[in-house]
Homo-oligomer: A and B are copies of this chain.
């Protein structure tokens, strides 16, 4: 190939299993150390180090030095978007991982995936909104229905503002614990924010766990029509 890489270079960086595992781990939004990423990817620290060097050189991740740790984060929302789209493709064509997800039951139940709700409750949210016909899925993906727009506005979400953003309102994100879809996109993120604001749930510090209050979970169940 005389012509340089371009897409191929980016895709190749995401195309190694170890690196892909690291990047999906980083989708949680939390900065992780090199050692943590090595564990996530299931490789030795040496190997991880070489992968991280490549990802850094390709500007897929950015490192931040703190004491004797190096914390890594994704270099931008476009990386998350790329990972989400490819998860969708992998899901569509049936390339599914054997991996069943985290062991921690709280993590399996409700956690943050980048900026939206994942885990069993994330899946329940997606299914509930579908059943109530507030979102609909077709060949192209997920979209808000008219009823969904009314619902969103009534729930305190400024849909007009969200639409200003390029980011799609709704997107399917494959849940790596439940292996079903949950709701991503700016609307998915806004919903989680409202859950926080309404006091239904709060994010545990230093972790991806989202913990619902008893009252909040009750309200959540009503919302998803349980």
Contacts and interface: CB of A to CB of B under 8 A. Distances in A.
Q: Which of A4, A60, A77, A89 has the most CB of B within 10 A?
A: A89
A198 interface: no
Contacts of A8: 14-17, 19-21
Contacts of A14: 7-8, 11, 15
A1 interface: yes
Q: Which of A17, A83, A96 has the most CB of B within 10 A?
A: A17
Interface in A95-118: 95-99
Contact of A5 (B17, B23, B140, B168): B17
Integer count of this chain's copies in the complex: 2
A96 B6 CA distance: 5
A217 interface: no
Interface stretch (A124-132, A158-166, A200-208, A218-226): A158-166
B82 A6 contact: no
Contacts of A144: 164
Given A75-B93, A77-B140, A95-B9, A17 B42 contact: no
